[in-house]
Amino acid sequence: MRKYLSLALLASIAFACSPKEKVETEVDYTQMSDEERLEVAKKMAHETIMVDGHVDLPYRMKVGGFTLQREILDVSVRTPDGNFDFPRSKEGGLDAPFMSIYIPAGLQQTPGSSKALADSLILMTERLAETFPEKFAMAYSPADIEKNFAEGKVSLPMGMENGSALEDDISNVEYFHGRGIRYITLTHGKANLIGDSSYDTVRLYNGLSEYGEQVVTEMNRVGIMVDVSHVSDETFKDALAITKVPAIASHSSVRAFTPGFERNMNDELIQALAKNGGVMMINFGGTFIDSAYAAGADKVREHFVNYLAENNLSRRDSAAQAYIAEYTAANNPFPTVQRVADHIDYVKNLVGIDYVGLGSDFDGVGDSLPTGLKDVSMYPNLIAELLKRGYSQEEIEKICYKNVFRVWQAVEDYAASQS
């Protein structure tokens, strides 16, 4: 025990030292007890900027009844459901969740509706920062996040999930940059005017469309990161061939753990993104990280549909929720935080630590989240697992923010050189 306590003390000293002194004070976190390693992880989470590439709060606010007149869903306080709110964000050390401006693919059938929803969700996000300025602040650059972090505020950078909101007007790329959007996920569940989707069996272009090529070029020009999550493999390759700056995958995981699931990235794509200088931000959703869980989830879902119908219950009924929790635990146990660490390990071992980050998909993947990572308060559990596996503090910092900051700054610098 004395050995472990001494290591924990050394870790505390290392956090307080200058970067040069940190090199001189090496700590073997693998030799700590689990309890002490978790305490170190909590301290690291709170003293390091943490960026999450994808949190679906804006659409959750819309579904929860958020209006511009009053906040029915108040995430400035602890909420009984969902994965994100201010208290839990502070507990977990999350400083900059990218707010997903999510545009359902179905809206593509009605011209103008995708852009209208994007504007509405942006306004909701801005209203959150305006209503609780002591807790939240908008962020449009890495420098904004650093400033907000120093002030103890949770930053709200924004990324648009589904380029369909651009409609068929290339000038909307610059328009949404002006509205604060700092990445655009080119497609979502269906092919759109930009390109093909990994979820869609229809391949309209076998990659990017001609318009999609213009969109990527224009995103480079104005300073919006190109997000290749959700796109088909060919769209992914086309986007990387055109972009002049590093790209991101804001919430994708490793296909080696989910064979046949094109939504995740295979080795070739991971290597291509690394060669591009980009960053892959790991999705925490159970179906993204574990193929066995994904297969079991389909069977469990079918059972619940029948059970609820036979017993005249809805999923919101307490009796149904208790049954669902018990049945799921017995028949399709959730993956654990260790599985998320496996994905990070895989990327690190394949291409290096400089190309991996966090893209949880909190508030976007329902109840499939792994044990130990059920909401934003639990990031220290992941950090502790990485420390247990021998990750250094510098590597943790790269995963938490330095890698995505590098990409984001490169995109900003290129855009500035074009003006």
Paired tokens of 81: 């459901």
Give SS3 for 159: strand
Question: Residues near 108 by Cβ (< 8 Å), separated by ≥ 6?
Answer: 114, 164, 190, 192
309 versus 275: the higher-pLDDT residue is: 275
Instruction: Report pLDDT digits (tens) over 328-337.
Output: 778 777 899 9
CATH 3.40.190.150 for domain 45-289+346-418, yes or no, is: no
**Cα separation of the two ends of the chain:** 60
Residue 138's φ and ψ, nearest 5 degrees, are: -65, 155
Amino acid residing at 120: S
Q: What is the pLDDT of residue 354?
A: 98
pLDDT-above-90 percentage for the chain: 79
272 versus 315: the higher-pLDDT residue is: 272
pLDDT tier for residue 5 given thresholds of 50, 70 and 90: very low
Q: What is the pLDDT of residue 321?
A: 84
| Mean pLDDT over the full length of the chain | 92
- Spatial contact of 261 and 291, defined as CB atoms under 8 Å apart: yes
Paired tokens of 161: 């999930």
- CA nearest to 280, candidates 352, 220, 339, 223: 352
Paired tokens of 192: 């759109």
22 versus 133: the higher-pLDDT residue is: 133
300 versus 119: the higher-pLDDT residue is: 119
Q: How many residues does the chain have?
A: 419
Instruction: Report pLDDT digits (tens) over 232-287.
Output: 999 999 999 999 999 999 999 999 999 999 999 999 999 999 999 999 999 999 99
Q: Which residue has the tokens 């040069």?
A: 20
Instruction: Report pLDDT digits (tens) over 7-38.
Output: 555 455 455 444 434 444 578 999 999 999 99
Q: What is the pLDDT of residue 11?
A: 55
Q: Which residue has the tokens 């272009």?
A: 205
Give SS3 for 280: strand
403 versus 321: the higher-pLDDT residue is: 403
Q: What is the pLDDT of residue 304?
A: 82
- Spatial contact of 212 and 238, defined as CB atoms under 8 Å apart: yes
- Spatial contact of 342 and 257, defined as CB atoms under 8 Å apart: yes
Q: What is the pLDDT of residue 298?
A: 79
Residue 327's φ and ψ, nearest 5 degrees, are: -65, -40
Residues forming CATH 3.20.20.140 domain(s) in the chain: 45-289+346-418
Instruction: Report pLDDT digits (tens) over 79-115.
Output: 988 999 999 999 999 999 999 999 999 999 999 999 9
- Spatial contact of 278 and 239, defined as CB atoms under 8 Å apart: no
Q: Which residue has the tokens 């059970």?
A: 307
Instruction: Report pLDDT digits (tens) over 144-189.
Output: 999 999 999 999 999 999 999 999 999 999 999 999 999 999 999 9
E strands in 313-402? 356-358
Give the helix ranges, DSSP H, for 69-112.
86-92
Q: Which of 181-185, 242-246, 321-325, 368-372 has the lowest mean pLDDT?
A: 321-325
What is the Cα–Cα distance from 303 to 301, expressed in whole angstroms? 5
Q: Which pairing describes strands 225-227 and 181-185: parallel, antiparallel, or unpaired?
A: parallel
Question: Residues near 122 by Cβ (< 8 Å), separated by ≥ 6?
Answer: 58, 101, 158, 179, 180, 181
Q: What is the pLDDT of residue 338?
A: 98
Paired tokens of 187: 């497609």
